[in-house]
Structure 1
Amino acid sequence: MSDVTWVERLRSALADRASDRIPEADFEFRAAVTLILRPSGGRGGPEGLFVRRAEVAGDPWSGHVALPGGRRDPDDADLLDTARRETREETGLRLEREDYIGRLGEIHPLSKRLPSICVTPFVAWMEADQAVRVNEELTGHVWVPVSALSDPAYRSTLVREPPAPRERPAIDFEGDVIWGLTLGIVEDFLNVLAAAPMRVP
């Protein structure tokens, strides 16, 4: 299957998720993130961009592997604008609205110790070859093959988070550990792929 055919099938599958919304009044904050996909980098099939967040005191997601994104600003026209702005600020990638092919189900932290925030995850396809240039909020980035996200070989249950390692479902891709809210978004994305059904090119 070509990348073009795969993207169009993914766009169609994501269209069915557009109604998975949580009422705005249920949360103090709204945020948006983007799962950015690009054609194969030579490792078999499309890849997704993940970023490494910097260590910041008081930030509950400090040091995590995550998706580019952040809280909605009053000047953002909508959550898609939030996703585009945050992606540009954090990674230097300039995505147009037409680069976005859909969104996944909204998600929020279950723990009362975390901020009252609802996250809208968008999916974008980046055809043009743009260089990632992370800002001071990040320490780096990694492109992960979509095929690796569902590969049992990369599944783990150990998250090395201070003050001590703990058992949590995770994806450990060559030392970059995806867990928590980001893993929830990835699992939702994989469910969309499985339900289509569609073979990763």
Structure 2
Amino acid sequence: MIDSSNWQTFVESLKTALKAEPLGMQAQKAMAPLPDVSQRFDRESAKKARQSAVMILLYQEKGKVRFPLIVRPQYPGVHSGQIALPGGKFEDDDNDLVFTALRETQEEVGVAMNEVEVIGQLSELYVPPSNFNILPVIGLMSNTPQFILEKKEVEELVIADINVLNDESKRKQKQMTFYSGLHVDVPYFDIEEKVVWGATAMILSEFATIINNINSKK
């Protein structure tokens, strides 16, 4: 269990873990939609894809360690209405993908870039439907953020307790029918009664594995 009482110890352990070889496909596949996930791990396609980055932004609030998720608005696109981490595509003016994650987090949820300490990153993940390759970045805040939502990009904010990621009762599965008519078995995290699936769930699966490894060494 991770909470404010062991925040500093957790942060130091997390920094160390993020310096190690990324867990990658093995950890991501635990929450990958079935049956066929091979495209997501096609590195040649990932290299040619549009580049993007997302932020797992950790902070303390009321004794808990939390991070924000966003609900995308409804729009004509493959990720309409989905739950996501703050983030977006790389722009020509961005220094690198870490900068992209910081900039997009500031734009979408109002957290100033200079208030975030970046401590590492997870494995990249390719998303075939939108042809994006995603770099997940891990950031910390020393204070509880005052979120200001960009209404054109964020319909709702969902605040998650970090411990939900390794709560087996919150890992579920359902069948979904995609626009192509394909029926797919989809594992998901039930976070605040929201269905967190797809690329976001796969990214959080790797993060959950790192947290579980840290907890097992206590």
Aligned twin of 1:118? 133
TM-score of the two chains, using structure 1 as the length reference:
0.85
Residue type of the alignment partner of 1:27: K
Q: How does 1:1-201 map to 2 (within 5 A)?
A: 2-17=6-21, 26-42=47-63, 45-57=64-76, 59-96=77-114, 99-109=117-127, 111=128, 114-135=129-150, 136-158=152-174, 167-197=185-215
Query: Displacement, 1:127?
Result: 1.5
2: CA distance, partners of 1:47 / 1:181: 20
For 1:54, the aligned partner's letter is: P
* C-alpha distance in 2 between matches for 1:14 and 1:107: 16
What's the secondary structure of 2:113's corresponding residue? coil
Greater helix share, 1 or 2? 2
The Cα shift of 1:128 comes to 1.7
For 2:52, give the aligned amino acid: A
Change (3 A) 1:193 1:82: same
Superposed CA RMSD: 2.7
CA offset at residue 52 of structure 1?
Answer: 0.6
TM-score normalized by structure 2? 0.78
Q: Please state how far the C-alpha of 1:195 moved relative to its aligned partner.
A: 2.6
- The answer to whether the 8 Å contact 1:159/1:167 transfers is yes
Is the CA contact (8 Å cut-off) linking 2:53 and 2:89 kept in structure 1? yes
Q: Match for 2:72: what amino acid?
A: R
- Number of equivalenced pairs: 193
Q: Hey, what's the Cα distance between the residues in 1 that align with 2:154 and 2:75?
A: 10
- Cα pair 1:49 1:144 within 8 Å, conserved: yes
8 A contact 2:188–2:201 mirrored in 1: yes
